[in-house]
Structure 1
Amino acid sequence: MFTDMDYELEEDKLGIPTVPGTVTMKKDSQNLIGISIGGGAQFCPCLYIVQVFDNTPAALDGTLAAGDEITGVNGKPVKGKTKVEVAKMIQAVQVEVVIQYNKLQADPKQGKSLDIVLKKVKHRLVENMSSGTADALGLSRAILCNDGLVKRLEELEKTAELYKGLMEHTKRLLRAFYELSQTHRAFGDVFSVIGVREPQAAASEAFVKFAEAHRNMEKFGIQLLKTIKPMLHDLNTYLHKAIPDTKLTIRKYLDVKFEYLSYCLKVKEMDDEEYSCIALGDPLYRVSTGNYEYRLILRCRQEALGLDAFISVSAPTLVHWPPKPGIVGSSPIWGETCFSFFDVCRCLWCHSVCVSRVL
């Protein structure tokens, strides 16, 4: 009969190739290189990078990415070590650290499964719902807290409505002003005719002056309309071209955002699945064989941020699960504060220590 030590499961790479490499990085003033790690003993044979934090030595270097396996630190192999031990190895090195790694040559298309597509659709639906409605329907979702761009989209729509009303009111006002100027012109014509026919010289002169004054009012009114018309044209261009173009750009952002949040939610679900099985003493097959599926999703989550260069919104991420009666911890689940838009929180709900070591 086989015992646990009689055999080891081979790594299941899911057909994803890896390329070994070495990188030397200088640490920052806090003795960090800007990565968080996961996996490692005792359940996972691979120790991998969970995320690379923004504006850190690792991010600026650009060599390491989420999902890459760490195989050594300063020439010392890390196989069989826990993430805590590896974190101490990296922190013990001063100034510069040499990381040996296996680069995950992952294609993001491999991770874009039907589950991700459905999650993306769900996030689109939930976007226009209140939190109470989404909870009542049992819809779990990831939320970007203080999403400034979406708030600005709402402000832009309000501004568009304001300018639309302003344009319509201005058009009515200018039309009325034009009709008023034509009325002044008509008065001027009438006074001019009366002045010509008036036998008394003083009265005739007065009527002629009245006529000239009304004609000047009409002339200055037309000049005013000619001055205002280009301004109205510019406002119309802003309303019907600039604002729609901006909305289109924001919709592109929303599309990327929903895809990113779908991967965030997928990572959270896989984390929960992993911890539940470990709590039962039965580690998942994917974890025991290198956790390549999870690492692929981590890479896809990181790659989702690079789809459009214009996305630079900083916001923490909240993974929000619907309340379940009778289950402790059904409130919204907050993770650690994120350093940037793509720094996804590691959940502290079900365990007392962070699931990944921040280095």
Structure 2
Amino acid sequence: MLSDYEPDFFFEEDKMGMTITTGSVVLEKDGSNLIGISIGGGAPYCPCLYIVQIFDNTPAAKEGTLQSGDEITGVDNISVKGKTKSEVAKMIQAAQSSVTIRYNKLHAEPAQGKTLDLILKKVKHRLVENMSSSTADALGLSRAILCNDSLLKRLEDLKRCEGMYRGLVEHTRRLLRSYYDLSQTYKDFGNIFSTIGVRELQPRASEVFTKFGEIHRQMERYGVQMIKQLKPVLADLGTFLHKAIPDTRMTIGRYADAKFEYLSYCLKVKEMDDEEQSYHSLQEPSYRIETGNYEYRLVLRCRQDARARFAALRSDVQVKIELLDNKHVQDVVQQLQRLLSHLTTFYDQCHQLLDGQRFFPIEVDLSKGAFTYESVSGLLQSQDEEEPEEYNVAEEAKETSNMVNSSGESQPLISMD
């Protein structure tokens, strides 16, 4: 027993700049005769008995005074100095309905536990997160993982939801652009036929062309009106894609950071436990353990704080993803219904404009040059410019003969019939 040795035999406790305060707390036991704490340290290696973990939904967790890393100095006014952790556990179980725990509370700053080693472990967990287990094992990367993490599936569903919304927004934007181009085509048709109707001499044809043009102009107005009504649909889909999902992703980012920090502390605790076991197996003393194991207790406190932040952010992420799923189900149905409703209204309006109209046949007066096209005229002109040289000579001779005849002289040398 540690109490059998002289006090000068032990090292002085190395508190690493941390302070402690003394206190006591009365805890009511649960139905299993437990208070919900895990104990570490104690004889024969460590002079301090300390709390390793506070379990959830237990009397100690609900009371909230005790924390990981706090030293237990007495149970029901009985000192536990020099006792083993098994003996202290039996003392707690031997109490009836409640037990009084005397403790030395450890006051530690979380920044003291964020060493370079922990930061490197955090980076390693980020890298391993996107690796398969076989790859990480092949590379020899030790890591801590969360078993049965249901949130991973929800995150994958969020990625699929984001991809679906991105495609829906892009398709809707292209659809509205296509309808805008179609409306401009209707407008051009209307302007052209209205111009033809104004210039047409036949009354019947003029009326038909003018009416046909006005119908297309009205279709263009209906199209622009439909596009204006559908723009809020695109804006609502964009709000979900560019605001709701990024906000959830930001929360997920904070959750992931807290998760990797918590896993890093868990890995650090495991490594320190393995180090302690190796010293015990070799029966060699450890300065850290013999001076109160304050470094280990600091990591335990940091792990508890990191776990609390991780649990809070995890709950926040789950709530946000749940709300996002509900909004997704309701929003998609509502926006698609609005889209189909406005498109149906547009097509019904266009159908009413054209339904029952009889435009053809019509009579149109065509001028003689109606079917004379610039391309054909140019071709004929080029053919005229390439007439044979003999024809040009004959024309000159004919002009000469005409000049001679007009002067009363002889007949032309060359005559063209």
Do they fold alike, i.e. is TM over 0.5? yes
* Aligned residue runs from structure 1 range 1-359, under 5 A: 5=5, 7-193=9-195, 197=200, 199=202, 201=204, 210-307=212-309, 310-312=312-314
The Cα of 1:61 is off from its aligned counterpart by 1.6
TM-score for both structures, normalised by structure 2: 0.67
Query: Secondary structure of 2:314's partner?
Result: coil
Structure 2 portions without partners, runs of 5+? 317-417
TM-score for both structures, normalised by structure 1: 0.77
Q: Judge conservation of contact 2:14–2:294 (CA < 8 Å) in 1.
A: yes
CA shift in 2, pair 1:212/1:91, >3 Å: farther
More helix by share: 2
1:167-219 deviations in Å (ceiling 9; x for gaps): 22221111111111222233334454556647465x76665664454344323
Q: Which has the higher contact order (CA 8 A, sep 6+)?
A: 1
Q: Judge conservation of contact 2:262–2:310 (CA < 8 Å) in 1.
A: no
Tell me, in whole angstroms, the C-alpha distance in 1 between the residues paired with 2:25 and 2:283.
Answer: 36
Query: Secondary structure of 1:141's partner?
Result: coil
Tell me, in whole angstroms, the C-alpha distance in 2 between the residues paired with 1:96 and 1:5.
Answer: 33
Tell me, in whole angstroms, the C-alpha distance in 2 between the residues paired with 1:308 and 1:84.
Answer: 31
CA shift in 2, pair 1:29/1:195, >3 Å: farther
Larger Rg: 2
CA shift in 2, pair 1:278/1:309, >3 Å: closer
Instruction: Between 192-201 and 288-297, report the one with greater CA deviation.
Output: 192-201
Q: Judge conservation of contact 1:49–1:68 (CA < 8 Å) in 2.
A: yes
Tell me, in whole angstroms, the C-alpha distance in 2 between the residues paired with 1:93 and 1:76.
Answer: 12
The Cα of 1:66 is off from its aligned counterpart by 0.3
Structure 1 portions without partners, runs of 5+? 315-359
Q: Judge conservation of contact 1:149–1:250 (CA < 8 Å) in 2.
A: no
CA shift in 2, pair 1:198/1:149, >3 Å: farther
